[in-house]
């Protein structure tokens, strides 16, 4: 079956069997290997992508279901050479060690910050409770998300301080 | 960990979907969110010839009031319940309970109706709907029928829905007067199925119980309704002794098995503990509504 | 990119990680990300039975499926003498089963096809006829009279016993027990769990038919050792084998062994002439790869009337699965378990250990265990807390009273370990202070009077890492040195290659920092590479917290070597005598005339452009470090829990962790390692379990059953530190990667046992799931 979708802002497509999982389509057909496979029971979240802005597990979606939709993977976070605030946050707060869960974590976090620009620790932990990390123990991931939240609100704070110019 | 091959159709209208099922329903599976079906396909526990994806059919994603009921369409996702201001007002039990379902990512895709039709005895929505006395709306090329939830579940993953039918909505009678509910779930971690879960919904007339619903998860071959416990509450005030008695009855009505999550004795006691806690919480909420 | 780019990056600086860039952009190079031209995919068929004879295997239908190139069975492997392979413990392990299957999940056949979907489709079509045999699922079952013989393939093997091993002194220990004032016994089971890194294991084997060179991309924590093993097993000449271990998505010991999939893929590539990729799924990873623990332990602690420990006696039965494949130094059968006297000055001890075959996956040494130190530490810390409770003593005081004192170091334990350095009372005091221990105890009493179930658990671990001195530590005979090769280029930048292999521990940053400190080249200018056996110097790999103690030491040594050559170059450039030069990190200057100086970069340039007569050009070197001793990191962990009387669920209210790993090279990275380990310890204590039913079916072979904590369950940690440098390590550092998994499970469990002790409960084996806690409370008459 033919599929066509927007991935990281670009029109992408392919011809796949209906049974091909979205994660395999991204990794094998589109060669976007930043989305990872960590389990076989929809349990770990390493395969998280954004589907029309909402974080979902791409291992539990068929590529054909996503025909005509919008997908964002980790490769779509940065703007050319400029890292997204969430990526800066993960770097500055040592929110990654082996890096395998990191793409999923960052995408979930970026979606969270869209809805809730100033989340509490608990709100962050709740939002990432579908994503497993084996390395970090999550504390620095929470810090990374807060760092990004502060980064994103900083220019607005500066504007307010300057009299709203 | 990849599905076996299958045909796939994503019909644009309900009639197209029903037509497909009329023809090939016996070898087909209907898919909405796919969060229960796709894992089964990947493990090859399910190998249907055809998947009918109803995800593109318009008109199925609404939450709306409908003649003393709230009607929840087949494509209403768990996350939609989480965010629904209407449901928070009309059926707060659902909004409390939805946070216990799977994990945030699965909730972004999975649907309420799909979950009920999947009929996992460890599923959450089934027991919540049993406590709410909901009914399913099923459509086929032969017409529409309404199926009360009590009796819908026949066995593990088996319901009275025919292979040519699609459940297009679930209807929940709106509680009247002061009403309250609660959901208690014992899970080992976020995303785990319930070891035991109990849904409670009560409606009060003054201080006395007018209507009571108690649904139980993971303690039988299907989600169960604790009918004797419910009956024992009608006409009584929710005092500690009444609550304790109902809790004991519900525990006796449950049919758990020994497994890795615990012994049957443990699970029965958790039913008792959760019915107690559940009724106390439901009472508190009902009193808030009144106040 | 980093806020710390301006920093020099020497020892003690928390510079941001240099390796982050690719991971943040989703450009990591994990095994499954590699695509080779003409590559095929392999899927493995595994046994559904725990113990069964293979009657027949029919691959006809499978072989005819679309896209299938070959179906490989044990019979075909046997023709190439590859049906069996040696293990890292000197046993043999089946690559593909020939006669019998010996655990559920064992490899039976493999399909090689054009796509992975096709390989899996065909795999389902292989038909195997089994004759089921009675399975053995525990050491007790293995020992039972009349038990079936699992390893009937081994000549001379008459039963299911693998090894007997002892340490310490039976005579003096027996004597001490005979006159002891009190003996406290604990019988406990450390259940089977699994390292379960988020990335599973896999390989791409590419045997070039023209050149004969085998390039094998492999998820391996020890690529050189594996290359040597491959050479011995396959007969391929070792210089024609190149193992490339790329970015690893976690390891925790899971990626040390040689798995059958690697051997089959290599044989398939050799026979077919195309690259073959094999990546296991999560179920395969949990059901068949190197598990951890599974030790049945009984400890007796003898105490005198003043509460001083006088003797320790421990027996353990080890459940090793169907093949003895522990990755551990060859002279030790139960790893370094005999560190079990822990932080305490116990004059005499005796340890006995017996290993058994069972019908389960092979393994045992894994999951951040420091070679079985996790098991030993768990036993002693549980036993000590139980003893304190039984004797009516405070847990912390009882430990303090019996700690090895700072002035006793270096300390020789009753089982022969020479502890290098330690200050246990200090770490304990920092922990108690952070906890607010005295106030907390009053609060616990107050809550208990209100009927709450709450408690405090303490664990003061000492662990032993940095294997190790070659005369004592070897894997299959390969001595456990490690290496660092440092090349400083004319423009003053450097390339550091090492024999270890990071799986997320931050080597690209940490080891650059050692060079930055010792040679003065900023960390940003030092590129660190590991994992390619064609380019990296020979080493024994990363596991058991050995990288900093051994390869880190090698890095310091080679940096100092090059610094000494640079001194000669500086002397030449400055026309001064070597002994008149002072080194200040990054430059040499003439004593008394600091304006006459040369930077390390200028010396590097001179090494290629302006040399003294007779000196070899270049500023490059390599060092193979043989550690004189192990290092002994330690700490005190304390946990506060609240137990729900109605459900038995446990909530960790506080978790304080004070660690001492000597000098910390990058404190940020060290803390990250500790936080991760505390989380794995939490998982082990409360939810992680691989178990088996009576038919040998594995329960815990996917993430629905093998439970890994999410951010929601995981407690917040309060970290503290003390610093007691290692006296023998070149920069005073000790290993730290595994301290938290070693020390924390007992802390968590001790807290629950403390909470339940008012009800007379003295033990619950891990994982402390709510049903077990409930059952203990009910038995004691406690209910909601």
DSSP string of A30-90, one letter each residue: S--TTS----SSS-S-TTEEEETTEEEEGGGSBGGGGTT-EEE-GGGTSBTTBPPHHHHHH
Nearest residue to B275 (alpha-carbon basis) of B207, B221, B213: B213
Measured CA to CA, the distance from residue A132 to residue A104 in angstroms comes to 9
Is the separation of the CB atoms in C115 and C41 below 8 Å? yes
- Partners of C315 in the β-ladder: C298, C352
The encoded tokens of residue B265 equal 């004795």
A154 touches chain C (CB under 8 A): no
Contact C775 B266 (CB under 8 A): yes
**What's the pLDDT tens digit per position in B193-228?**
999 999 999 999 999 999 999 999 999 999 999 999
Instruction: Tell which of B39, B44, B194, B270 to mutate to test the C interface (max C CBs under 10 Å).
Output: B270
Buried b (16+ CB within 10 A) or exposed e, B151-177: ebbeeebebebeebbbbbbbbbbebee
Sign of the CA dihedral with A23 first, then A28, A30, and A32 last: positive
Q: Which H helix or E strand runs over B140?
A: strand B135-140
To the nearest whole Å, the CA of C703 is away from the closest chain B CA by 9
B154 touches chain C (CB under 8 A): no
Q: In what order do the strands lie in the sheet with C214-218?
A: C68-73, C107-113, C40-46, C276-279, C202-207, C214-218, C241-244
Is the separation of the CB atoms in C753 and C455 below 8 Å? yes
Whether C248 has a pLDDT exceeding 60, the answer reads yes
The 3-state secondary structure of C487-508, one letter per residue: EECCCCCEEEEECCCCCCCCHH
Q: Of C193, C369, C661, C698, which is the active-site residue?
A: C369
What is the per-residue pLDDT for C30? 98
Mean pLDDT for the stretch of residues C613-639: 98
The verdict on whether C738 is a catalytic residue reads yes
Is the separation of the CB atoms in C132 and C51 below 8 Å? yes
Q: Of C93, C106, C118, C221, which is the active-site residue?
A: C221
The verdict on whether C369 is a catalytic residue reads yes
Three-state DSSP at C531 gives coil
**What's the pLDDT tens digit per position in C547-601?**
999 999 999 999 999 999 999 999 999 999 999 999 999 999 999 999 999 999 9
Q: What is the mean pLDDT of chain C?
A: 97
Contact list, A108 vs chain B (CB under 8 Å): 104-105
* Residue with tokens 């929470």, as numbered in its chain: A142
Question: DSSP letter string over C107-155?
Answer: EEEEEEESSHHHHHHHHTT-EEEEEE-----SHHHHHSTT---S-TTST
Residue C181 to residues C186, C348, C403, Cα–Cα distance (Å)? 17, 15, 19
Contact list, A41 vs chain C (CB under 8 Å): 282, 702-704
Cis ω for the linkage preceding C410 (within 30 of 0): yes
Whether A163 has a pLDDT exceeding 60, the answer reads no
Nearest residue to C197 (alpha-carbon basis) of C461, C473, C454, C505: C505
Three-state DSSP at C265 gives helix
* Residue with tokens 């000197």, as numbered in its chain: C90
Nearest residue to C464 (alpha-carbon basis) of C379, C600, C341, C608: C341
**What's the pLDDT tens digit per position in C467-492?**
999 999 999 999 999 999 999 999 99
Buried b (16+ CB within 10 A) or exposed e, C39-71: ebbbbbbbbebbbbebeebebeebeebebbbbb
Contact list, A102 vs chain C (CB under 8 Å): 23-24
**What's the pLDDT tens digit per position in C210-247?**
999 999 999 999 999 999 999 988 889 999 999 999 99
Q: How many CB pairs under 8 A join B and C?
A: 58
Whether A76 has a pLDDT exceeding 70, the answer reads yes
Contact list, C704 vs chain B (CB under 8 Å): 192-193
As a whole-number percent, the residues of chain C with pLDDT over 70 amount to: 100
Whether C344 has a pLDDT exceeding 60, the answer reads yes
Q: In what order do the strands lie in the sheet with B50-53?
A: B7-9, B50-53, B28-31
The verdict on whether C201 is a catalytic residue reads no
Three-state DSSP at B162 gives coil
The 8-class DSSP code of residue A28 comes to I
Beta strands in C373-422 (DSSP E): 411-412, 418-419
Mean pLDDT for the stretch of residues C736-753: 98
Of A88, A100, A121, the CB nearest to C249: A100
Contact list, B104 vs chain C (CB under 8 Å): none
- Residues 220-259 of chain C with CB under 8 A from chain A are 247-250, 252
Of C281, C678, C717, the CB nearest to A40: C281
Residue A82 to residues A100, C581, C601, Cα–Cα distance (Å)? 21, 45, 31
Measured CA to CA, the distance from residue B128 to residue B97 in angstroms comes to 8
Contact A56 B109 (CB under 8 A): yes
What is the per-residue pLDDT for B291? 60
The encoded tokens of residue C746 equal 């007992």
Contact list, B260 vs chain C (CB under 8 Å): 691, 699, 705
What is the per-residue pLDDT for C23? 98
Q: Which H helix or E strand runs over C386?
A: helix C373-391
Measured CA to CA, the distance from residue B200 to residue C554 in angstroms comes to 65
Is the separation of the CB atoms in C360 and C321 below 8 Å? yes
Is the separation of the CB atoms in B52 and B9 below 8 Å? yes
Mean pLDDT for the stretch of residues A67-88: 97
Whether A161 has a pLDDT exceeding 50, the answer reads no
What is the per-residue pLDDT for C234? 85
What is the per-residue pLDDT for B66? 85
Q: What angle do CA B268, B271, B277 make, to 5 degrees?
A: 145
Q: What is the mean pLDDT of chain B?
A: 97
The encoded tokens of residue B236 equal 């009584």
Of C23, C27, C714, the CB nearest to A96: C23
To the nearest whole Å, the CA of A78 is away from the closest chain C CA by 7
Measured CA to CA, the distance from residue B229 to residue B246 in angstroms comes to 5
| Chain C residue whose CA is closest to A40 | C282
Residue B226 to residues A28, B94, B211, B249, C314, Cα–Cα distance (Å)? 50, 19, 13, 8, 52
Residue C582 to residues B132, C78, C612, Cα–Cα distance (Å)? 83, 65, 19
Is the separation of the CB atoms in C520 and C586 below 8 Å? yes
The verdict on whether C174 is a catalytic residue reads no
What is the per-residue pLDDT for A120? 98
Whether B45 has a pLDDT exceeding 60, the answer reads yes
Mean pLDDT for the stretch of residues B45-49: 95
Instruction: List the chains bordering chain C where 3 or more Cβ pairs fall under 8 Å.
Output: A, B
Q: Which H helix or E strand runs over C432?
A: helix C424-435
| Chain C residue whose CA is closest to A76 | C25
Q: Would you state the torsion angle of the CA atoms of residues B250, B251, B253, B256, taken in this order, to the nearest 10 degrees? A: 140
Three-state DSSP at B46 gives coil
Confidence of residue A162 (pLDDT cuts 50, 70, 90): very low
Q: What is the mean pLDDT of chain A?
A: 94
For the question of an ipTM over 0.95, the answer is: yes
To the nearest whole Å, the CA of A9 is away from the closest chain B CA by 22
Confidence of residue A165 (pLDDT cuts 50, 70, 90): very low
Contact C252 A134 (CB under 8 A): yes
Is the separation of the CB atoms in C83 and C147 below 8 Å? no
Is the separation of the CB atoms in C581 and C589 below 8 Å? yes
What is the per-residue pLDDT for C403? 98
């Amino acid at each position: 079956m033919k599929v066509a979708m927007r991935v990281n802002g670009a029109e992408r497509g392919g011809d796949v069997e209906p049974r091909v999982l979205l994660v395999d389509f991204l990794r094998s057909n589109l060669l976007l290997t930043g989305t990872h496979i960590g389990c076989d029971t929809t349990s770990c979240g390493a395969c998280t992508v954004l589907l029309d802005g909402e974080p979902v597990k791409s291992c539990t979606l068929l590529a054909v279901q996503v025909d005509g939709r919008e997908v964002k993977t980790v490769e779509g976070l940065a703007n050319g050479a400029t890292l997204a605030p969430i990526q800066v946050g993960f770097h500055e707060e040592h929110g990654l060690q082996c890096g395998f869960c990191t793409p999923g974590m960052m995408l979930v976090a970026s979606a969270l910050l869209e809805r809730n620009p100033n989340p509490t620790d608990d709100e962050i932990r709740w939002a990432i409770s579908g994503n497993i990390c084996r390395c970090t123990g999550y504390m620095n991931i929470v810090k990374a998300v807060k760092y990004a939240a502060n980064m994103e609100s900083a220019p607005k704070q500066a504007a307010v301080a300057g009299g709203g110019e | 960990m990849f599905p076996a091959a299958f045909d796939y159709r994503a019909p644009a209208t309900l009639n197209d979907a029903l037509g497909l099922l009329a023809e090939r329903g016996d070898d087909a599976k209907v898919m909405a969110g796919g969060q229960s079906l796709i894992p089964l396909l990947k493990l090859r526990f399910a190998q249907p010839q055809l998947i009918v994806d109803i995800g593109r059919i318009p008109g199925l994603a609404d939450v709306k009031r409908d003649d003393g009921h709230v009607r929840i369409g087949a494509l209403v996702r768990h996350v939609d319940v989480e965010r629904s201001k209407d449901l928070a007002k009309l059926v707060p039990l659902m909004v409390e309970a939805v946070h216990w379902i799977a994990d945030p990512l699965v909730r972004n895709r999975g649907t309420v109706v799909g979950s009920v039709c999947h009929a996992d005895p460890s599923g959450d929505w089934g027991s919540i709907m049993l406590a709410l006395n909901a009914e399913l709306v099923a459509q086929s090329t032969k017409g529409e029928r309404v199926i009360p939830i009590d009796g819908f579940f026949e066995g593990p993953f088996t319901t009275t829905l025919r292979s040519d039918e699609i459940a297009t909505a679930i209807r929940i009678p709106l509680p009247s007067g002061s009403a309250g509910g609660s959901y208690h779930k014992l899970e080992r971690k976020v995303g785990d199925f319930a070891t035991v879960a109990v849904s409670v919904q009560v409606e009060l007339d003054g201080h006395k119980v007018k209507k009571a619903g108690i649904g139980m998860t993971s303690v039988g071959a299907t989600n169960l309704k604790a009918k004797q416990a419910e009956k024992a509450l009608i006409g009584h005030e929710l005092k500690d002794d009444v609550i304790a008695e109902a809790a004991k009855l519900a525990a006796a009505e449950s049919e758990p098995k020994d497994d890795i999550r615990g012994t049957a004795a443990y699970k029965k006691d958790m039913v008792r503990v959760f019915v107690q806690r559940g009724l106390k919480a439901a009472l508190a909420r009902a009193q808030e509504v009144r106040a | 990119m980093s806020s710390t780019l301006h920093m020099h990056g020497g020892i003690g600086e928390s510079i941001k990680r240099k390796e982050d860039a690719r991971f943040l952009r989703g450009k990591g190079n994990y095994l499954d990300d590699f695509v080779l031209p003409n590559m095929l995919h392999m899927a493995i068929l595994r046994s559904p039975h725990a113990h069964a004879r293979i009657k027949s295997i029919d691959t006809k239908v499978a072989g005819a499926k679309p896209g299938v190139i070959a179906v490989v069975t044990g019979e075909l492997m046997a023709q190439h003498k590859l049906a069996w392979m040696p293990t890292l413990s000197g046993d043999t392990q089946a690559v593909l089963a020939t006669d019998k299957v010996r655990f559920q999940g064992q490899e039976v056949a493999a399909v090689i096809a054009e796509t992975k979907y096709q390989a899996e489709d065909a795999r389902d079509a292989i038909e195997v006829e089994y004759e089921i045999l009675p399975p053995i699922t525990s050491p007790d079952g293995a020992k039972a009279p009349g038990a079936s013989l699992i390893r009937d393939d081994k000549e001379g093997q008459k039963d299911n016993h693998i090894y007997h091993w002892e340490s310490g002194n039976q005579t003096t220990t027996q004597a001490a027990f005979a006159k002891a004032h009190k003996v406290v016994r604990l019988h406990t089971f450390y259940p089977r769990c699994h390292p379960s890194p988020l990335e599973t294991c896999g390989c791409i084997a590419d045997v070039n038919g023209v050149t004969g060179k085998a390039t094998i991309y492999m998820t391996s924590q020890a690529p050189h050792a594996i290359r040597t093993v491959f050479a011995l097993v396959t007969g391929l000449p070792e210089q024609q084998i190149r193992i490339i271990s790329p970015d690893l998505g976690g390891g925790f010991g899971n990626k040390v062994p040689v798995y059958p999939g690697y051997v089959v893929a290599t044989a398939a590539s050799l026979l077919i002439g195309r690259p073959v990729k094999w990546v296991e799924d999560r179920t395969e990873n949990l059901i068949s790869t190197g598990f951890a623990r599974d030790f049945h332990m009984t400890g007796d602690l003898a105490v005198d009337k003043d509460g001083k420990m006088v003797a320790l006696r421990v027996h353990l039965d080890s459940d090793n699965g169907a093949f003895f494949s522990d990755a551990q130094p060859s002279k030790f059968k139960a790893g370094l378990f005999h560190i079990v006297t822990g932080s305490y000055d116990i004059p005499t001890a005796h340890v006995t250990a017996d290993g058994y075959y069972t019908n389960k996956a092979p393994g045992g040494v894994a999951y951040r265990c420091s070679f079985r130190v996790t098991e030993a530490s768990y036993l002693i810390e549980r036993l000590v807390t139980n003893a304190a409770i039984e004797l009516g003593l405070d847990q912390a005081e009882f430990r303090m009273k019996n700690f090895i004192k700072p002035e006793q170091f270096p300390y020789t334990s009753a089982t022969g370990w020479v502890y290098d350095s330690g200050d246990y009372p200090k770490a304990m005091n920092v922990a108690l202070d952070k906890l607010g221990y005295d106030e907390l105890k009053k609060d616990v009493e107050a809550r208990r009077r209100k009927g709450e179930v709450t408690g405090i658990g303490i664990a003061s671990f000492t662990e032993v890492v940095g294997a190790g001195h070659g005369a004592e530590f070897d894997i299959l005979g390969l001595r456990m040195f490690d290496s660092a090769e440092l090349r400083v280029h004319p423009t003053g930048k450097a390339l550091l290659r090492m024999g270890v292999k990071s799986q997320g521990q931050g080597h690209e940053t940490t080891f650059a920092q050692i060079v930055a400190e010792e040679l003065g080249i900023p960390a940003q200018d030092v590129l660190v590479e590991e994992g390619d056996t064609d380019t990296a110097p020979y080493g024994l790999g990363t596991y058991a917290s050995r990288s900093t103690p051994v390869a880190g030491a090698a890095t310091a040594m080679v940096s100092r070597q090059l610094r000494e050559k640079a001194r000669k170059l500086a002397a030449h450039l400055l026309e001064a005598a070597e002994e008149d030069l002072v080194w200040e990190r990054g430059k040499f200057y003439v004593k008394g005339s600091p304006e006459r100086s040369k930077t390390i970069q200028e010396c590097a340039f001179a090494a290629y452009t302006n040399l003294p007569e007779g000196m070899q050009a270049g500023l490059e070197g390599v060092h193979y470090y043989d550690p004189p001793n192990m290092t002994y990191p330690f700490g005190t962990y304390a946990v506060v829990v609240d137990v729900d009387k109605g459900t038995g669920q446990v909530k960790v209210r506080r978790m304080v962790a004070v660690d001492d790993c000597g000098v910390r090279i990058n404190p940020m990275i060290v803390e990250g390692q500790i936080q991760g380990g505390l989380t794995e310890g939490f998982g082990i204590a409360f939810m992680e379990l691989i178990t088996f039913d009576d038919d040998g079916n594995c329960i815990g072979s996917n993430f629905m059953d093998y439970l890994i904590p999410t951010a929601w369950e995981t407690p917040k940690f309060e970290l503290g530190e003390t610093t007691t440098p290692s006296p023998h390590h070149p920069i005073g550092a000790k290993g730290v990667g595994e301290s938290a998994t070693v020390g924390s499970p007992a802390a968590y469990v001790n807290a629950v046992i403390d909470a339940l002790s008012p009800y007379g409960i003295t033990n619950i084996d891990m994982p402390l799931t709510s049903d077990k806690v409930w059952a203990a409370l009910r038995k004691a008459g406690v209910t909601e």
